[in-house]
């Protein structure tokens, strides 16, 4: 939105203006859908304008702005600038760009060969208002006009203005008559005609015979020349320039082998359709075939690899010079017409080769007068392209193609190499329209796409199957994946497995679309070959009516892709060393909207294709914001030499690519490729007309790709090293130093990240050398393939297990029909070992909740939510979150692929429930996942274990061995050593093979050591003995204990030291095996960054409590990390009931099965059986289940084990023991009603919603009044009110002018209405409402506009307001002038609502101040406790809140000031209560509790205070 301030009369100082003197016109923006081309965009705007004419708004003035996103390339600007005055483009259009993206526009303009003119800063608007008044009649203040800052176009029948205009449009660069000799004349004509044809980049190799051409090129003022002593590097540089600019470069060489050195580049250009013009100097005919120096036969030197060849005669004034021009025109036409490619003109020269004067006849210039008077080419080649609609035969063939697409059952869109940004754009629009799965090659520009949002639904509109290559490692997947229609855009596919998969689909309809006519069909199964650009094909396709097919197949591919992708990402993160796949995975970190990527051949491009990932930028352009709701992502320019796929000239090509595209290029190559083109460093050093480059060299001292081929398995290592790997010890640092190029060497992941960041911020070229190893690279690739294959098999197992029948309409989803929870209390036979709070009690209890989910098919799943007393959550906090979930989960869908546990739950929670995953309490998330998994298992008549690990059913021998799991006993060592040893002996006799003893409960670790020594003596060495210190020892105490027990064969000591930073130090000094527990309890959502610090061989186990770490998804990830590192993953209970223990038994079995697979895949010996920490079942005096828990002595082994079958039976037949249920929550209705209130001679009917216990006894309860923001309603508070209603009475209202609140007797009196909506009157109205609903004080909670009202009332009515929670609120503008301008703008915005309707206004503006009064001065005298709450990402209001925090005097020593709080809520922006509601619930309740506690203390009501806090 752009605001223009219009002043009547001359411009004055704003301080002297009255409110009515300042009028602001609000520009209302309408965003149209993205257009395939610029022409389409203009047409859509024209159509919108025509519709506006037929249905004009009711206002007499105002500004309407239409915007449409169009392709990003310079071609759009070129077309735009070239429109004649009579063109239809006569409205006023501004290509938009933000301040931070001005370079993007400059880049595009530079491609148009224009000269920058800095004298023109802004196009004058000169537009017509709807009221037929010119903008020129008024002074326009475009202070907020961010769209117009850098570049502006304006087209009318007479005017076209821009910051950069083409200069010298009708002048030649120089006069031909001034040339010294006929060689110079012809050379000048060649260079000038090249310039006129748009060829302005000349790559000049040194040589004598080519001197006339070199001198002419260097003298031309509008031509850029670059040189290099190596013709091969120079030619590849020219290819790179052409790839980046989409224009041909000109290569000038001398005669002889210099021309032959161009051959590899010419082959590459020919095979990959890159335009190139080769001007080779030559000896004249009399010096051919006679032994003349540096003379070879250069006629048709490149054979069939050039599109055109012509050998000019030696320059002479006897031949019209027009022949030179027409030859150039014809050659360039051949080079730029399909099939695009290289052309060769041989240029013989006689001496003199310099500028020595020599007479020549100007008659040879006859017929060039017109040519010399303008800057146009001599011959203009015009291609008349008829629309396929006008061609009956073509139309019929295309209808056949479209019909096959319409009838598709399973279609796939394959995107190969794309070289133009416009085509990337077209493919994205086509993909969104088709709604087919998309497989994108690394060279497509959308494999490493930029996501326009980090929201999980960002890629929903287009299903990218990025990891299909590795999924196809599974035989089962290869058998399953079958497509009947394949549409491929672009010819080349990097992945061999995907090519084989496509071939396996034959017979099918295979439609290949590419610009060139060549046959790119190595498997010989293309059924329809369409010679067309992606843009043309998309235009035809998107006009056809393509029906939407069932998306069930899409869900399968999505699940498969997610599972494999997460597995790959996991292993790349887990591997501590810097691997080559990891490099490919993180190169997107070095990309931005202004970046491009050049990718080398061999292993580098394959890794990038397999392991590359998309990325999200912090800063988005205006066009990105426009696109956000239409397209999920944008492409990035990616290039590589895949014509002949050689490793020569790659560095030089990348440098040319950087010049051509004028972006910051990241080049990734291998060491052999780098060494093959070290002369490219000489070109790099010249740094002409380009931005800094980063060159990433992966140095594994040879050709690593051969280690992955079959030859490596059967060939002697010595032969491999010498003849395949070509191992070397060349110093890349030395080469860079010799050329004066900055060099960085990295060996670790952290060093790589730092190098990529620093290189992208620097202003010099940089070579980053990454050390690697051929052998370790081959091994790691093998591991990833194995694990990816297992992940694919697992995903396929889940798909086949949980897939609903084809007849079911809901696909792979099922709705939650109802939800409830029950509060339980069960007695324990002893105090939990995790707590020291119960030592003065004789009866001990465990409290928690049983969550019940009922699906629409009637299946019920149960989960247990049991916060541990030592954690940061309590029962009241947890119940509030359960109440919130009760409200938001009813009727939502759950995905049957959630059991994959590969970020599936995290994605579902955020995407479906709208809750940041980090805000859910760990116990709540654990119980929620438990209930959903049980519900899905019940829905499919399966066991929890089988939906987590469906492969188990195929491997019955495994299920026999893992029909039960071992249990570790638990001892609280509070007795003497002999007493504890006696207990341990009893446990061993009972059948336990592992015992964990709690230590660090005594005054001296020597006493604990004595206990361990005695126990070991009594139980023998065959029992696994564990000890748990729970972080209770200092480092010195732990060392003392370790020294005393080091010879007693402990399996591990759990959390021996107080500080995490001492763990590794303890491992190394004590030599004892260590286990982690509390260290991982508070790990982040992605725990891998934390775990990597503990990859020490003495850390042998991770003890995982699902209820403490936050569920099974995170627990599975931590366990997998442990298994990969060869550590034990032990599931531990936290004194939950039999329900949770049964789930833990099955989950433990699942992890053991996974570990067995991991050992097999890593060629490790099978892992020994692990005893899991579920011995807390012995503490259960009572249980919530009616059936007994299946833990006991296994008759066949004699050990205490938990039966998988019994646990499954308990969950299937689960019945709650209602003797231990205190209450059940099945919902609470919101009471809605209207209150008729009078205020200041006006009557209102206020819409009220209320929930929570009404309490008529004075001072016995709390009432909270919620106030919404501008354009909101009381509905936005209902989920939060549901959560808090257990602790307080919650009321929300529709403020006047919003929702269903009505103003009864205002009529059409606008002045009265204006005063009516003042903050003073609204506050008075709310005060009367408060008096009506309660005699007590209330706590106000307000957001934005509601926050301003709440703040005002807290400052003015302290006798009725107990406290106020201010969410993203402000006291107003302090400056009087700013307030005047703001009021004028608000008046304009209000008029725009009336004129254009609310929805259009919402698209343009959402938030703003509405009142005249500032409350800053009043803050200094605040008598009511305030809680200021802002979002972490809301920088503006964070600054406002901080200033308010200082103004209210929070540091004063009085009762009110001590209650003031300021809180920054993570993971949200301005609308904190909507973006991250769970922290708001807790904050509001804690604030109300603190206010109530103070009030009760003041009255001395200690008993009520204790009850309230409990």
H helix runs in 762-903, sequence order: 774-802, 875-889
Q: Dump strand ranges (E) for 649-772.
A: 664-670, 694-699, 742-746, 766-771
Give the separation between CA 992 and CA 1200, rounded to whole angstroms.
Answer: 5
- How is residue 1416 written in tokens? 């800053």
Q: Are strands 1289-1293 and 1302-1303 parallel, antiparallel or unpaired?
A: unpaired
* Bridge partner list, 1243: 1238
- Contact predicate 867/848, CB 8 Å: yes
3-state secondary structure of 407: coil
Nearest partner of 456 among 1116, 907, 8, 960, judged by Cα = 907
Q: Are strands 115-116 and 164-165 parallel, antiparallel or unpaired?
A: antiparallel
- How is residue 525 written in tokens? 């199964």
Nearest partner of 934 among 948, 920, 915, 922, judged by Cα = 948
Phi-psi region of 1325 (alpha: psi -120 to 50; beta: other; left: phi over 0): alpha
- Contact predicate 301/267, CB 8 Å: no
- How is residue 1102 written in tokens? 């991770």
Helices (H) and strands (E) in the chain, counts: 55, 53
Q: Work out whether the CA dihedral 455, 457, 463, 469 comes out positive or negative.
A: positive
Residue with tokens 């301030």: 5
Write out the H or E segment, with its range, that includes residue 1124: helix 1112-1124
Q: Are strands 1338-1343 and 308-311 parallel, antiparallel or unpaired?
A: unpaired
**CA angle (994, 998, 1003) in 5-degree steps:** 150
Nearest partner of 252 among 274, 224, 293, judged by Cα = 224
User: Is-cis flag, bond preceding 352, omega within 30?
Assistant: yes
Give the separation between CA 116 and CA 163, rounded to whole angstroms.
Answer: 7
User: Is-cis flag, bond preceding 785, omega within 30?
Assistant: no
Phi, psi of 1472 (to 5 degrees): -60, -40
Length of the chain measured in residues: 1510
* Bridge partner list, 389: none
- Contact predicate 92/156, CB 8 Å: yes
Which residues touch 926 (CB under 8 Å, ≥6 apart)? 863, 864, 865, 1106, 1107, 1110, 1111, 1112
Alpha-carbon distances of 1248 from 72, 225, 886, 1236, rounded to whole Å: 50, 76, 22, 11
- Contact predicate 851/844, CB 8 Å: no
Helix axes 1063-1070, 1035-1045, angle to 10 degrees: 30
Which residues touch 569 (CB under 8 Å, ≥6 apart)? 585, 613
Give the separation between CA 955 and CA 960, rounded to whole angstroms.
Answer: 9
- Contact predicate 511/400, CB 8 Å: no
Alpha-carbon distances of 1150 from 898, 952, 1115, 1145, rounded to whole Å: 15, 9, 12, 9
User: Is-cis flag, bond preceding 237, omega within 30?
Assistant: no
Catalytic annotation, residues: 996, 1105
Give the separation between CA 813 and CA 816, rounded to whole angstroms.
Answer: 10
């Amino acid at each position: 939105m752009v605001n223009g301030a219009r002043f009547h009369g001359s411009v004055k100082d704003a301080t002297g203006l009255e409110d009515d003197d300042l009028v602001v016109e609000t520009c209302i923006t309408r965003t149209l859908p993205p257009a395939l081309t610029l022409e389409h965009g203009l047409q859509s705007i024209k159509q919108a304008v025509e519709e506006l004419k037929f249905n004009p708004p009711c206002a007499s003035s105002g500004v309407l702005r239409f915007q449409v996103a169009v392709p990003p390339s310079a071609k759009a600007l070129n077309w735009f600038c070239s429109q004649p005055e009579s063109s239809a483009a006569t409205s006023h259009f501004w290509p938009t760009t933000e301040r931070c993206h001005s370079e993007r526009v400059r880049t595009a303009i530079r491609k148009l060969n224009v000269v920058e003119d800095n004298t023109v800063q802004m196009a004058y608007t000169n537009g017509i208002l709807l009221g037929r008044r010119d903008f020129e009649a008024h002074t326009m203040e475009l202070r907020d006009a961010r769209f117009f800052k850098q570049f502006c176009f304006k087209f009318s029948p007479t005017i076209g203005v821009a910051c950069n205009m083409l200069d010298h449009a009708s002048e030649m660069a120089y006069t031909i008559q001034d040339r010294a000799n006929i060689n110079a004349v012809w050379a000048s004509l060649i260079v000038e005609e090249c310039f006129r044809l748009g060829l302005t980049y000349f790559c000049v190799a040194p040589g004598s015979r080519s001197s006339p051409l070199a001198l002419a090129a260097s003298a031309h003022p509008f031509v850029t020349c670059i040189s290099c002593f190596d013709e091969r590097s120079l030619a590849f540089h020219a290819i790179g320039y052409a790839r980046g600019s989409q224009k041909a470069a000109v290569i000038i060489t001398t005669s002889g082998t210099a021309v032959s050195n161009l051959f590899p580049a010419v082959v590459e250009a020919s095979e990959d359709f890159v335009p190139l013009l080769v001007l080779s100097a030559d000896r004249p005919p009399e010096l051919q075939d006679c032994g003349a120096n540096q003379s070879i036969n250069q006629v048709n030197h490149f054979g069939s690899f050039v599109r055109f060849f012509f050998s000019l005669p030696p320059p002479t004034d006897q031949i019209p010079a027009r022949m030179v021009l027409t030859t150039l025109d014809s050659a360039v036409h051949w080079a730029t017409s399909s099939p695009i490619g290289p052309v060769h003109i041989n240029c013989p020269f006689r001496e003199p080769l310099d500028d020595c004067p020599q007479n020549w006849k100007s008659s040879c210039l006859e017929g060039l007068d017109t040519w010399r008077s303008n800057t146009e080419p001599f011959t203009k080649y015009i291609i008349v392209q008829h629309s396929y609609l006008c061609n009956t035969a073509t139309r019929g063939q295309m209808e056949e193609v479209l019909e096959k697409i319409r009838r598709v059952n399973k279609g796939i869109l394959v995107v190969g190499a794309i070289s133009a940004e416009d085509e990337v754009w077209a493919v994205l629009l086509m993909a969104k329209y088709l709604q087919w799965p998309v497989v994108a090659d690394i060279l497509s520009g959308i494999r490493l796409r930029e996501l326009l949002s980090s929201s999980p639904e960002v890629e929903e509109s287009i299903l990218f199957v990025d990891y299909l290559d590795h999924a196809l490692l599974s035989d089962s997947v290869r058998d399953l994946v079958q497509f009947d229609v394949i549409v491929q855009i672009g010819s080349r596919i990097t992945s061999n497995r995907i090519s084989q998969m496509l071939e396996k689909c034959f017979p099918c309809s295979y439609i290949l679309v590419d610009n060139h006519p060549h046959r790119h069909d190595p498997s010989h199964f293309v059924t329809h070959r369409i010679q067309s650009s992606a843009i043309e094909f998309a235009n035809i396709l998107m006009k056809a009516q393509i029906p939407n097919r069932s998306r069930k197949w899409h869900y399968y591919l999505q699940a498969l892709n997610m599972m494999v992708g997460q597995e790959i990402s996991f292993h790349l993160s887990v591997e501590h060393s810097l691997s080559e796949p990891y490099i490919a995975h993180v190169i997107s970190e070095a990309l931005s909207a202004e970046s491009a990527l050049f990718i080398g051949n061999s292993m580098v491009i394959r890794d990038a294709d397999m392991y590359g990932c998309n990325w999200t930028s912090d800063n988005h352009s205006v066009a990105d914001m426009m696109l956000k709701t239409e397209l999920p992502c944008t492409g990035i320019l990616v290039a590589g030499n895949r014509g002949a796929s050689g490793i020569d000239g790659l560095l030089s090509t990348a440098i040319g690519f950087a010049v051509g595209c004028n972006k910051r290029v990241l080049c990734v190559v291998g060491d052999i490729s780098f060494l093959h083109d070290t002369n490219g460093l000489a070109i790099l050093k010249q740094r002409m007309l380009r931005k800094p480059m980063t060159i990433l060299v992966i140095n594994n001292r040879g050709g690593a790709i051969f280690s992955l081929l079959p030859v490596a398995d059967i060939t002697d290592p010595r032969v491999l090293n010498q003849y395949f790997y070509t191992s070397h010890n060349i110093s890349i640092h030395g080469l860079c130093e010799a050329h004066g190029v900055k060099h960085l060497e990295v060996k670790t992941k952290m060093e790589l990240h730092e190098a990529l960041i620093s290189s992208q911020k620097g202003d010099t070229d940089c070579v980053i050398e990454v050390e690697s190893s051929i052998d370790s690279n081959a091994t790691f690739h093998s591991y990833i393939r194995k694990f990816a294959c297992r992940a694919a098999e697992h995903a396929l197992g889940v798909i086949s297990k949980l897939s609903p029948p084809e007849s079911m309409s809901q696909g792979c989803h099922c709705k939650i029909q109802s939800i409830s929870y029950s509060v339980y209390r069960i007695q324990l036979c002893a105090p939990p070992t995790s707590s020291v709070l119960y030592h003065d009690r004789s009866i001990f209890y465990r409290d928690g909740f049983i969550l019940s989910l009922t699906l629409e098919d009637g299946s019920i799943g149960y989960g247990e939510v049991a916060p541990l007393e030592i954690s940061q959550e309590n029962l009241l906090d947890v119940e509030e979150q359960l109440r919130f979930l009760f409200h938001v989960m009813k009727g939502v869908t759950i995905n049957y692929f959630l059991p994959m546990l590969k970020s599936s739950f995290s994605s579902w929670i955020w995407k479906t429930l709208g809750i940041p995953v980090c805000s859910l309490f760990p116990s709540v998330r654990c119980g929620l996942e438990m209930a959903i998994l049980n519900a899905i298992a019940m829905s499919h008549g399966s066991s929890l274990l089988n939906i987590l690990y469906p492969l188990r059913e195929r491997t019955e021998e495994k299920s026999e061995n893992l029909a039960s799991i071992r249990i570790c006993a638990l001892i609280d060592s509070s007795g003497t050593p002999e007493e504890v040893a006696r207990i341990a002996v009893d446990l061993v006799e009972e059948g336990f093979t592992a015992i964990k003893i709690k230590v660090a409960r005594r005054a001296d670790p020597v006493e604990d050591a004595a206990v361990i020594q005695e126990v070991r003596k009594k139980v023998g060495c065959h029992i696994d003995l564990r000890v748990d210190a729970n972080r209770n020892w200092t480092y010195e105490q732990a060392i003392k204990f370790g020294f005393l027990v080091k010879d007693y064969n402990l399996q591990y000591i759990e959390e021996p030291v107080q500080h995490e930073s001492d763990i590794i130090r303890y491992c190394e000094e004590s030599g004892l095996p260590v286990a982690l527990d509390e260290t991982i309890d508070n790990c982040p959502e992605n725990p891998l960054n934390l775990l990597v610090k503990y990859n020490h061989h003495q850390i042998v186990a991770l003890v995982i409590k699902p209820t403490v770490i936050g569920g099974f998804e995170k627990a599975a990830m931590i366990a997998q990390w442990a298994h990969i590192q060869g550590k034990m993953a032990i599931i531990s209970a936290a004194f939950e009931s039999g329900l949770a223990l049964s789930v833990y038994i099955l989950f433990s079995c699942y992890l053991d099965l996974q570990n067995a697979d991991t050992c097999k895949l890593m060629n490790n010996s099978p892992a020994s059986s692990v005893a899991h920490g579920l011995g807390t079942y012995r503490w259960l005096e009572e249980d919530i289940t009616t059936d007994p828990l299946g833990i006991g002595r296994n008759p066949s082994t004699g050990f205490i084990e938990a039966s998988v079958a019994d646990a499954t039976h308990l969950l299937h037949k689960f019945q709650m023991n209602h003797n231990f249920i205190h209450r059940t929550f099945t919902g609470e209705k919101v009471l809605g009603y209207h209150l008729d209130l009078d205020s200041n001679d006006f009557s209102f009917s206020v819409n009220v919603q209320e929930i929570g216990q009404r309490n008529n006894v004075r001072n016995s309860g709390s009432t909270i009044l919620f106030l919404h923001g501008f354009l909101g309603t009381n509905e936005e508070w209902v989920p939060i009110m549901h959560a808090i209603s257990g602790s307080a009475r919650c009321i929300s209202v529709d403020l006047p002018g919003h929702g269903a609140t009505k103003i009864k007797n205002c009529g059409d009196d606008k002045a009265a209405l204006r005063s009516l909506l003042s903050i003073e009157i609204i506050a008075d109205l709310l005060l009367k409402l408060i008096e009506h609903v309660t005699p007590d004080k209330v706590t106000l909670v307000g957001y934005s506009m509601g926050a301003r009202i709440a703040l005002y009332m807290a400052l003015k009515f302290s006798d009725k307001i107990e406290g106020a929670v201010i969410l993203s609120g402000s006291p107003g503008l302090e400056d009087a002038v700013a307030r005047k301008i703001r009021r004028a703008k608000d008046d304009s915005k209000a008029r725009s609502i009336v004129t254009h309707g609310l929805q259009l206004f919402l698209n343009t503006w959402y938030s703003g101040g509405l009142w005249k009064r500032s409350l800053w001065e009043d803050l200094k005298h605040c008598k009511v406790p305030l809680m200021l709450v802002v979002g972490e990402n809301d920088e503006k209001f964070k600054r406002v809140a901080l200033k308010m925090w200082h103004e209210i005097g929070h540091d004063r020593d009085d009762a009110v000031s001590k209650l003031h709080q300021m809180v920054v809520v993570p993971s949200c922006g301005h609308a904190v209560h909507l973006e991250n509601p769970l922290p708001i619930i807790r904050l509001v309740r804690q604030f109300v509790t603190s206010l109530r506690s103070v009030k009760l203390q003041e009255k001395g009501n200690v008993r009520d205070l204790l009850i309230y806090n409990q």
